[in-house]
Chains A and B, each alone.
Chain A
Amino acid sequence: MIPVPRADHSFDWSFHGPKLVESLGETLYMVGATLLVGGALGLVLGLALYTTRRGGLLGNRGVFAALNLVVNVFRPIPFLILLMVIAPVTVFLLGTRLGSSAMVVAMSFAATFGVSRIVEQNLVAIDPGIIEAARATGASRWRIITTLLVPEALGPLILGYTFVFVAVVDMSALASIIDGGGLGAFALDYGYKRWNFAVVWVTVVVIILLVQAAQALGNHLSRRVMHR
């Protein structure tokens, strides 16, 4: 049973403070790990979607249709439902369905499909003339995919990943319902369930600051790599 705080509608720094910091750490861990795993898998899937589409470097109608179908099947599943659907897989992989790491499995899965579309969209915007110029030098398709595509779209990609970061923070709060820990669980357990709105609002402020910081960093980085 969770210990009862001294007063309602108040944020007790000595009691709530350490828990807030711990929750923030859990959130950052879940979001960071998801961006790493889902971000990498989504990048690969997005590159596959982009290169296999009609007229692409590896243009292949069958492969594109299959990948497109997979993305379209998994992406619209509401995250809360996906958490349940994927629980057996999480148990198989980690031996448990609870805790922050377990949530990362479901979050990475969901993020992969979202990221793949964002990557695909930004790669489509690359001027085809640049790819033609690379092919004209004798560069192999593999070299173009691995060394040219991502750098040419890097600025918009960073903004895309920043957008995904915010979406993943949102997911992590939802994951708290199934017991993932993090800021969502903190606001739920110590705030909402005890009708202590001081705790809820402090959590909101922390999340706003987190998102603002991420967006500022994303904007800064994308401006640095874009030479337009």
Chain B
Amino acid sequence: MPPIIEFDDVTKVFDSPSGPVRAVDGISLGVERGEVFGVIGYSGAGKSTLVRLINGLERATSGRLVVDGDDVTRLSERQLELKRRHIGMIFQQFNLFSSRTVAGNVAFPLKVAGWPKADRDRRVAELLDFVGLLSRAHDHPSRLSGGQKQRVGIARALAAQPSILLADECTSALDPETTQDVLRLLRKVNDELGVTIVVITHELDVVRSIADRVAVLEHGKVAELGSVFDVFTAPRADVTRRFVSTVLHDRPRESDLERLRRHHDGRIVTADVRDGSRLGQVLGSATALGVDFEIVYGGIGTLQDRSFGSLTLSLAGPGDAVDTLVARLREVTDVQEAR
């Protein structure tokens, strides 16, 4: 099946007082139908612009962007309005209509799509039940907590049964616990309704929690693209490494290494830990070789139900024995020397 969203050399240039800015710079990527696709990047990387190109809130300067069969760069404003009914969107600041009740907010896209009143009422009740806010239908958004507001945002975005949901920093204004609630709800939307979700974020935790694949964005370009596990366990771009270091502090930094060298006179190496890498078995043979080993730094976490991380070891003993042990470690995993 062709991707539900396909960027083909898409560029968006904004005019600014200091000259043109290429917010999105020649991006090509495809989002598969039914997946949760993460786009991660620091602020100014172009991710908000990228997501707004999909529903035409921003128009591409050049390139082709096919969304569910239509090249949105070629649609008229009227055609785009019709297209947007099939693309829901949620926002960092929720952007609920303060003049309308919770039910009124969810009913808005249905009015836009011309649903009759009775169908609208039924659909609104169904959605509020889905997000767990049926009892708050007649409240105004100002009376809800942040997490509840985002739930209403999700219900509103899903009202007209879209095939795609765009989430623009949808948890950035929420506390960690509420963030997990909202992410669970998005997971449910993907699992139960089969909606393709594009998640824009600057938090690796969000991508780690729900995305299947991820694109790392920097300066309007894709720095790295692949499955969340591959990209974050074997980061190639500097920007990706910076993101990984925000959630897993498993590798000693230069200042940590200086301290380690002062306290340990052995050779210091860092070994990657993966499921089935049998590190323990190799280290078990250290004593027989005459090597004293000590675990001096490290961390192991999980990503998409698989372990990843690293351990930093201090290996003390005769030079050739240490060499043999390092060689055995290299047979089962990647090993880096600390210099």
Residues on A facing B (Cβ under 8 Å): 127, 129-130, 132-140, 143, 148, 151-152, 154, 225, 227-228
Q: Give bound CA distance, A12 to B88, whole Å.
A: 71
Tell me the B78-116 residues at the A interface (CB within 8 Å): 78, 81-85, 87-89, 91, 93, 95-100, 108-109, 112-113
Q: Are B97 and A130 in contact (CB under 8 A)?
A: yes
B156 at the A interface (CB under 8 A): yes
Chain B residue with the shortest CB-CB distance to A137: B109
| B88 proximity list for chain A (CB < 8 A) | 136
Find chain B residues with CB under 8 A from A154 CB.
99
> How far is A137 from B157 in the complex, measured between Cα atoms in Å?
7
A127 to B95, Cβ gap below 8 A? Answer: yes
Which residues of chain B have a CB within 8 Å of any CB of chain A? 55, 57, 78, 81-85, 87-89, 91, 93, 95-100, 108-109, 112-113, 140-143, 156-157, 159-160, 166
Cβ-defined contact, A138 with B140, below 8 A: no
Q: Is the interface of A mostly helix, strand, loop or mixed?
A: helix
When distances are taken between beta carbons in the complex, the residues of chain B under 8 Å from A134 are 97, 108
The reply to whether B112 and A133 form a contact with Cβ atoms under 8 Å apart is: no
Residues in B with CB closer than 8 Å to A138 are: 81-85, 109, 112-113, 160
Which one of A129, A130, A139, A151 contacts B112 once the chains associate, using CB atoms below 8 Å?
A139
Given contacts A132-B95, A143-B112, A227-B142, contact A137 B100 (CB under 8 A): no
Asked whether, in the complex, the Cβ of B98 is within 8 Å of the Cβ of A137, the reply is: no
Quick one: which of B78, B83, B109, B140 has the most chain A CB within 10 A?
B109
Bound-state Cα–Cα, A42 to B160, Å: 36
Residues of B within 8 A of A129 (CB): 91, 93, 95
A132, B156: Cα distance in complex, Å: 14
Whole-angstrom distance from the CB of B154 to the nearest CB of chain A?
A: 12
Which residues of chain B are within 8 angstroms of A225 by Cβ–Cβ distance? 99
Q: How far is the CB of A216 from the nearest CB of chain B, in Å?
A: 23
Most buried by B among A136, A143, A151, A225: A136
Is B91 a contact partner of A133 (Cβ separation < 8 A)? yes
The smallest C-beta distance from A220 to any residue of chain B, in angstroms, reads 18
Which of B55, B140, B157 sits near A227, CB closer than 8 Å?
A: B140
Residue among A129, A133, A143 with the highest chain B CB neighbour number at 10 A: A133
Q: Evaluate whether A152 and B81 lie within 8 angstroms (CB atoms) in the complex, with A129-B91, A133-B91, A227-B141 already known.
A: no
Which chain A residue shows the least CB distance to B153? A133
Cα A38 to Cα B159 in complex, Å, equals 39
Instruction: Say which residue of A132, A140, A152 sits within 8 Å of B98 (CB atoms).
Output: A152
By beta carbon, the residue of chain B nearest A144 is B112
Identify which of B57, B97, B98 contacts A135 (C-beta below 8 A): B57
Some 12 contacts from A to B, beta carbons below 8 A apart, are A130-B98, A132-B57, A134-B97, A135-B57, A136-B84, A136-B88, A138-B82, A138-B84, A151-B97, A152-B99, A227-B99, A227-B141
Q: Lowest 3 CB-CB distances: which A-B pairs, in order?
A: A227-B140, A151-B99, A138-B84
